[in-house]
């Protein structure tokens, strides 16, 4: 069976990815910041391997890549992310907090992608996806606001399109995904979708990815989102 690696797999969408792939018989490499306290990730069924990883900690990323050297990964999911301060008046922005959001939402996915590209290239499926957000679409920004989160997701989209071009010759399929507005700690209770619904849809999108989809941005229903 294939292997999937998921960052931020201890709660929210990452946990649901782990649950669904695990239930389907995949080997799941689930990473979380505190491997001694992985929450529900420790209790889900299947071939689940838990590893500690703070995605913003580059030496930790390198260390895990060394530990997993030679392990083929069919699908790598850059899922871990933060929203940052929800105080959006331009004059009140907490710039230090914005830097942290950029470290977690932009630099970390690229660092993880670069560190594990060899594992993904060694997999049969060669898919590397990043959970972005429609909030990062500049074309879709018709209401303003949300400076910190929007800019982080727009930036990770830009970084991953470059990564898609730069790794195409190794056969990697790099895509950006929007999960919808989902009821998680980040999405809150008002979300349109449950994690079960969102992840079932995203897994279908991931399953359907082919070489022609390299460097594209997909909604959870499989349609393309404009940059
Ligand atoms: N929910 C939505 O409506 C929605 C919509 C669009 C996009 N997204 C994106 O979907 C992804 C998952 O979101 P979610 O709704 O599941 O959020 P969530 O419930 O807040 O969970 C976030 C996950 O990311 C992990 N994480 C945060 N910073 C990390 C770091 N430095 N290193 C490792 N793990 C870290 C968290 O781990 P800890 O438990 O250690 O904090 C947690 O596992 C994010 O990229 C988010 O931007 C969500």
pLDDT digits (tens, 9 = 90+) for 22-32: 999 999 999 99
Q: Considering the chain, what is the average pLDDT of its residues?
A: 97
Q: How far apart are CA 73 and CA 62, in angstroms?
A: 16
Averaged pLDDT, 83-111: 93
Question: What percent of the chain has a predicted confidence (pLDDT) above 90?
Answer: 96
Nearest CA to ligand 1 atom 20: 186
Q: How far apart are CA 141 and CA 143, in angstroms?
A: 6
For the chain, which domains are there? 3-218 (3.40.50.720)
Checking if the pLDDT of 161 tops 90, the result is: yes
Query: 2 with 187: CB under 8 angstroms?
Result: no
pLDDT digits (tens, 9 = 90+) for 166-222: 999 999 999 999 999 999 999 999 999 999 999 999 999 999 999 999 999 999 999
> 3-state DSSP call for residue 82?
coil
Q: How far apart are CA 151 and CA 53, in angstroms?
A: 24
Q: Among the atoms of ligand 1, which is closest to the Cα of residue 183? A: 1
Averaged pLDDT, 80-94: 89
**Given ligand 1 and candidates 32, 41, 82, which is best to mutate, with the most ligand atoms within 8 Å of its CB?**
82
């Amino acid at each position: 069976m294939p292997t999937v690696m998921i960052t931020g797999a201890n709660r929210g969408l990452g946990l649901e990815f782990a649950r669904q792939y695990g239930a389907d018989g995949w080997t799941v490499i689930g990473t979380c910041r505190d491997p001694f306290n992985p929450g529900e990730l420790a209790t889900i069924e299947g071939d689940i391997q838990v590893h500690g990883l703070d995605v913003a900690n580059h030496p930790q990323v390198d260390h895990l890549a060394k530990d997993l050297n030679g392990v083929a990964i069919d699908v790598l999911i850059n899922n871990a992310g933060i929203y940052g301060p929800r105080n959006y008046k331009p004059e009140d922005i907490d710039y230090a907090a914005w830097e942290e959001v950029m470290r977690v939402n932009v630099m970390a996915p690229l660092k993880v992608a670069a560190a594990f590209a060899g594992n993904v290239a060694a997999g049969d499926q060669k898919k590397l996806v990043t959970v972005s957000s429609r909030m990062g679409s500049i074309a879709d920004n018709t209401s303003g606001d949300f400076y910190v989160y929007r800019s982080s997701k727009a930036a990770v989209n830009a970084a991953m399109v470059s990564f898609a071009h730069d790794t195409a010759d190794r056969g990697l399929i790099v895509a950006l995904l929007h999960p919808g507005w989902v009821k998680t700690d980040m999405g809150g209770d008002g979300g349109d979708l449950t994690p079960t619904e969102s992840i079932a849809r995203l897994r279908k999108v991931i399953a359907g990815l082919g070489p022609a989809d390299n460097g594209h941005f997909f909604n959870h229903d499989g349609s393309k989102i404009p940059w």
